[in-house]
A = this chain, B = another copy of it.
Amino acid sequence: MRALSRVIYALPRAIDTDMMREQRLSLIEYLAMANLSEAPDRKLRMSDLAAAVEMSLSGMTRLVTRLESQGLIQRVKSSRDARGSNAILTDEGFARLEAAWPSNLAALRRHFLDHLTGLDLQRLAAALRDIAT
Query: Taking beta carbons and an 8 Å cutoff, which residues of A are in contact with B?
Result: 1-15, 27-28, 30-31, 34-35, 53-54, 104-105, 108, 111-112, 115-120, 123-125, 127-132
Q: Which of B2, B34, B130 contacts A2 (CB 8 A)?
A: B34
Chain A contact residues: helix, strand, loop or mixed = helix
A3 and B125 form a contact (CB under 8 A): yes
List 26 contacting pairs A-B, 8 Å CB cutoff, sorted by A. A1-B105, A2-B35, A3-B128, A4-B112, A4-B125, A5-B27, A5-B104, A6-B53, A6-B54, A7-B131, A7-B132, A8-B15, A8-B112, A9-B53, A9-B54, A11-B131, A14-B54, A115-B131, A116-B123, A117-B127, A118-B120, A118-B123, A119-B119, A119-B123, A119-B127, A120-B120
Bound CA span A27–B4, Å: 11
A4 and B54 form a contact (CB under 8 A): no
Query: Could you say which residues of chain B place their CB within 8 Å of the CB of A111?
Result: 131
